Structure formats: C-alpha cells, structure tokens
Amino acid sequence: MLTATLLTLSLTVTGVTAATDLTDPHKKDIAMRLVSSAENSSLDWKAQYGYIEDIEDERGYTAGIIGFCSGTGDMLELVELYAERKPGNVLAEYLPALRKVNGTDSHKGLDPNFTKDWKTAAKDSVFQRAQNDERDRVYFNPAVRQAKKDGLRALGQFVYYDAMVMHGPGSDKLSFGGIRKTALAKAKPPAQGGNEVTYLNAFLDARKAAMKAEEAHEDTSRVDTMQRVFLKNGNLDLEPPLKWKVYGDSYTIKS
C-alpha cells in the first residue's frame, strides 16, 4: 500500500495533483475571490460578511459572502444556524419575519433595522463561520461534487460553483440543474467520454441563456470576460496568474 508521500508523488507524476481540485485551500480562496469580483466588485471576499442590500431581483435582501437571499430560503437557514450556535444573537428576533417573507421579495418585519443588525452580526466570528459553513453545504460542496462526477477539473468545478451561487441548486431551467441538463443535451462531459473544453463551452452557453432570461442577471460579463477567457486560454486547472474583467473592471490574481 502506498504511503501518503508515495501517493502524492504518484499523483504528481500522473498530473493529478491536489492543486487541480477546487477544494485545495488556495484554489478555494481563488474561487471565493473570483465570485467576489462579480458579486461585490472586490477581491476581498472576507470583507463581504456584512454586505446587505436589495438588488431588486425579486429575491428580497441579498447579503453576505455568497449572496444569501431573504426570498429564497438560504438566508433563513443561515440565521437559523446562527441562532442554534448562538441563541439570543442580534438576528434571532428576525426569524419569524424571515419565515414569512421566504419565497417573496417583501421586507415586512425586517425593516427598518435588519440591515444594521446584519452588519453588527457580521463582526461576530460565530456568524462568519456560519456563513462559511452554509456556503459550503448549499453551494460549494454540491457544485464541486457534481463537477468531479462529470470529470471536470478546477476550472469546470468553479464554473459549476459560480452557476450554483447565482442560479441556485434547483432543477428548473433557470437553476443549476436545468442549466446542466441543457448543456448535457449539447455535449458530453469527460466522464461520459466527451471533450472537456467542448462541454464547458456548452455549459457556459446554457448559463448565459439563463442569465439573459432574468433582468437582474442580464450582464453576462462574468461568463464572457472571466470564465470564457480562462477556458480559451486552456487554463483548465485554474492556475494563476489570472487576469479577467467583470462589468468592465479589470482584476488580477498573481499567485
């Protein structure tokens, strides 16, 4: 049986290193910075725990490191987790209101102090960890797991993750599951014998169509001038240096 050292050497020789996986800590941090550039126009994703606003996408308030929404249930689940880990926290009083507005864009029971209290909670390390954990449970882990099943490397894993973040993990045509289904009708992923670049182009085509179907997401630059750029460059392992644009703004990750 190979020792851990020999196994690492063996994987390196075959070209399958830990760095090709988005769960590698450094690669994961790169993924967070890429998403933050699109969601918050900043590479400092850790500064976004306190972000909160209504971006008028019919999902109510959007907040935190991954855009938890009061209208889609993930914000409710986050605040429930926070209350479980720290009873009586500053957001716990909003749980009844969050349950009522779930599925709508209403602020009823949240205004006028919810945004202020969210920013207060964001300074609490318990709340920060809760955001990290819910991001991983709902979005990051499922996206990477499915990407691995499809035989995709780090770029493909990120492409899935970013789609999961914006569109949600559902199965309708505008959610991640529907986008993937549309892509599969056009091309096979590597796990089914297909070409990785061809499949990812099909997925990005389907993603772009889904974005254009929603007014709040009609700017497709995070696909056109970020993900498609990496793909055209053949950077399937998402290795820095990385240069891209989102909404016309330029970003660089050197290492």
pLDDT in tens, 220-236: 999 999 999 999 999 99
Q: Mean pLDDT, to the nearest integer, of 161-184?
A: 96
Is 57 an active-site residue?
yes
Which pair of tokens denotes residue 99? Answer: 């349950």
Number of Cα atoms under 13 Å in the Cβ half of residue 53: 6
Tell me what pLDDT residue 12 has. 38
Tell me what pLDDT residue 20 has. 75
Residue scoring higher pLDDT (217 or 191): 191
Please give the Cα distance from 145 to 178 (Å, whole number).
17
Tell me what pLDDT residue 2 has. 39
Residue scoring higher pLDDT (89 or 216): 89
Return mean pLDDT, the chain: 93
Q: Are residues 180 and 188 in contact, defined by beta-carbon separation less than 8 angstroms?
A: no
Q: What percent of the chain has pLDDT over 70?
A: 93
Q: Give bridge partners of residue 252 from the DSSP assignment.
A: 243
Q: What is the pLDDT of residues 91-146, one digit of tens each?
A: 999 999 999 999 999 999 999 999 999 999 999 999 999 999 999 999 999 999 99
Q: What is the pLDDT of residues 49-96, one digit of tens each?
A: 999 999 998 999 999 999 999 999 999 999 999 999 999 999 999 999
Tell me what pLDDT residue 8 has. 39
pLDDT value at 42 more than 70:
yes
Q: Find how far residue 159's CA is from the centre of its chain.
A: 9
* 21, 54, 57, 224: the active-site residue: 57
* 39, 134, 150, 196: the active-site residue: 39
Tell me what pLDDT residue 136 has. 98
Q: Are residues 238 and 30 in contact, defined by beta-carbon separation less than 8 angstroms?
A: yes
- The model's pTM: 0.91
pLDDT value at 15 more than 70:
no
Is 53 an active-site residue?
no
Please give the Cα distance from 174 to 98 (Å, whole number).
24
